[in-house]
Chains A and B, each alone.
Chain A
Amino acid sequence: MTDLSIIMDITRTHLSSRLKQSVIAALGVTFGIGSYIILVSFMTGLNVMLDGLVLNRTPHIHIYNEITPSEIQPIDRVEDWTETFNVVRSVKPKESIERIHNALPLMTSLRKDERVRGVTSWASARVFYLAGSNQLTGMVNGIEALEEVKLFNFGDYIVEGSPADLVKNNNGILLGAGVAKKLSLGLGDKIQLSTVAGGILPLKIVGIYQSGLADVDNVQSFVNLTTAQQLNGEGSNYITDINVKLFDMEEAPVMARQISKDHDITAKDIQDANAQFETGSQIRNLITYAVSITLLIVAGFGIYNILNMFIYEKMNDIAILKATGFSGGDVRSIFISQALIIGILGGILGLIVGFFVSVLISHTPFETEALPTIKTYPVNFDGAYYIIGMTFALLSTFLAGYLPARKAQYIDPVDIIRGQ
């Protein structure tokens, strides 16, 4: 068993006698790891933000009544004709109400389910926004504002006023930012809503809602649940949407299918509704890793070159070590540990540099109309990436060091001694 301290002493002496090249090689690793940390922190920060933008506010299961033609036509129910091939042309949906049948019992049973974190209900109504001579078509959703804040971060999207103001005022409305802009209305102004049925309801603007998605902001507004039910001329059992938030999002598809079957109703799960967001995150991750690995490979070549040069310069030392009884494995260890020291020091410095640049980015102002709640660039400071980065650094330097070190292992001392 070779005493490791002698190997380390030789390693250290070799490195310090070639300090400049060693530092340059280490800086190559620093550059690779630093870039990885910056990229991954920024990209995943962006992912988290974009996911938050949509996924946080999207219910894990959205239950509503979709108006579709019946799958089973009357003729299918006639037993005499089950063996025949029946064709019904030009099937149209039956006129139907949008409300969910037995919404209140359904909600009660959902709330009892231990997988469910919370349930909110909406009563939506198609309206015209009236202000002066202008009128806009739109949609108001009656909500239980405080529940929405708790479960779906609703508060993040109220840029002026607050959800609490809505709860306090039964004639209040949180107006969509696009609507407010088009009608030149602001906080405290009055607006009238006219329903499809013809009723008119004057409301006071207690807040402005901005989701960041123009299609939504140009149409949607929020009022209290009871206000919306009134607007439709309906009672407290008039519910058009039920939003369910689960403890574990992964259970959504199974549960949605079950609800849909049991209650003969449409239940969409979040994976189904937002499949494309997963893809976006994956592509950003792919880019991050492709760029980082490229940088590390470049750094690895740097280490490979410098170590080859070290070994070339240290031929005499290698011959002496072998002549005095150091084995090929010892010589290999000496050069691999040189590579690893370069990797460790360069890698740690890379983590530090990456961290500070990430901090800098996270303090850089970033304001955009589309993202009302974001004030600075989003950065993710997940420690796991620092562990991955360090593992990367060690792995790439080990590989870069291994090949030259193996060459040193098999150098024949006789060749070197003769060469003198």
Chain B
Amino acid sequence: MNKEKVLEARHINKYFTEPVRFHMLKDIDFNVNRGEFVSIMGKSGCGKSTLLYILSTMDTAYEGELDLNGRKLTGLSAEELAYVRNKEIGFVFQFHYLLPEFTVLENVMLPGRKLAVKSRQEVEHDAMEKLKLLEIEQLALKHASRISGGEKQRVAIARALINEPSIIMGDEPTGNLDSRNADIVFSIFRELCTTKNLSMLIVTHDLDFAEKTDRIIEMADGSIINHGHQEPFNYS
């Protein structure tokens, strides 16, 4: 099994100051390996989303250290972090965040055009490929505001894939979907792990979904209480 680390979180602590100072995340310490499909579970309010925002570099107000592909992300400038998000991380939200005034195709192309290593035509071609992969190529020219929730979620996944990232993070990406659509999304993720060697880090409340992943990280009250079967439980 490939044990190359993609994401490393080292002793992450997070405090909220509003309304009172509160220790939200306590010494979060774990890895995600290349091609590994990891899910995070835990009670509502235990800090899963908070952790994900830190891991996805959107939130920089934390203590500890974060590495991606062996490169330290902690302390990088906002500009550099934006580049990392654009190139290396695909993010899928619970609510299908698309730009409503753009077409499906344009939404998928957006991060690719921002990265600007490929020509517009190439990005458009790639975007169509991703839509085909997710079997929604027929929606390409529709407005993002005029497609169903399940379809939006797949568009968001296509968008997350456009720059061939190292890891996909999802915050309850199936939370709003019926079980049939949730199954579709799961098999897409699974397929990407095995064929493209992509890593997945997915927060979910759906036990059926989580049990099919490689490893379940369990959280409670801002701490990891179980790292899942692939890695022995350890405090550093």
Interface residues of A (CB under 8 A from B): 1-3, 5-6, 9-10, 13-14, 17, 316-317, 319-330, 412-414, 417-418, 420
Complex contact B58–A413 (CB within 8 A): yes
- Complex Cα distance A323/B99, Å? 12
Complex: A196 Cα to B202 Cα, angstroms: 114
Instruction: For B94, give the chain A residue with the smallest CB separation.
Output: A420
Tell me which of A2, A324, A328 contacts B159 (CB under 8 A). Answer: A324
Cβ contact within 8 Å between A323 and B116: no
- The answer to whether A319 touches B97 (Cβ under 8 A) is yes
Given contacts A2-B116, A9-B106, A323-B56, 8 further A-B contacts (CB under 8 A): A6-B114, A319-B97, A322-B58, A323-B85, A323-B93, A325-B115, A326-B114, A417-B58
In the complex, the answer to whether B97 meets A320 with C-beta atoms within 8 Å is: yes
A173: min CB distance to chain B, Å: 80
- In the complex, what's the smallest C-beta–C-beta distance from B96 to chain A, in angstroms? 10
Residues of A within 8 A of B86 (CB): 324-326
Residues of chain A within 8 A (CB-CB) of B11 are none
Q: How far is the CB of B57 from chain A (nearest CB, A)?
A: 10
CA distance A17 to B101 in the complex (A): 7
- The residues of B that contact A6 with a CB separation of less than 8 Å are 110, 113-114, 116
* CB proximity of B229 to chain A, nearest CB, Å: 31
A–B pairs, 12, beta carbons within 8 Å: A3-B113, A9-B106, A317-B99, A319-B97, A320-B99, A321-B99, A323-B58, A323-B93, A325-B84, A326-B82, A420-B94, A420-B95
**Contacting B111 at CB < 8 Å: which of A9, A325, A412?**
A325
Q: CB distance A414 to B58 under 8 Å?
A: yes
Question: How many positions in chain B have a CB within 8 Å of any CB in the partner chain?
Answer: 32
C-alpha gap A322/B79 in the complex (Å): 10
Q: Decide yes or no whether B233 CB sits under 8 A from chain A.
A: no
How distant is A319 from chain B, measured CB to nearest CB, in Å?
A: 7
CA–CA, A329 and B95, complex, Å: 26
Kindly report which residue of chain B lies nearest to residue A16, judged by CB atoms.
Answer: B101
- Note all chain B residues with C-beta closer than 8 A to A330: 82, 114
Bound complex: CA A328 to CA B78 (Å): 8
B227 at the interface (CB under 8 A from A): no
B124 to chain A, nearest CB (A): 12
Instruction: Report if B120 contacts A (CB, 8 A).
Output: yes
Asked whether A3 lies within 8 Å of B116 as measured between CB atoms, the reply is yes
Selected from A328, A329, A417, the residue in CB contact (under 8 A) with B93 is A417
B91 sits at the interface (CB 8 A): yes
B83 within 8 A of A: yes
9 closest A-B pairs by beta carbon, nearest first, are A325-B86, A327-B82, A3-B116, A6-B113, A325-B85, A324-B111, A320-B97, A17-B101, A414-B53
Residues of A within 8 A of B82 (CB): 322, 325-328, 330
Residue B87, interface by CB 8 Å: yes
Q: Which chain A residue has the least Cβ–Cβ distance from B87? A: A325
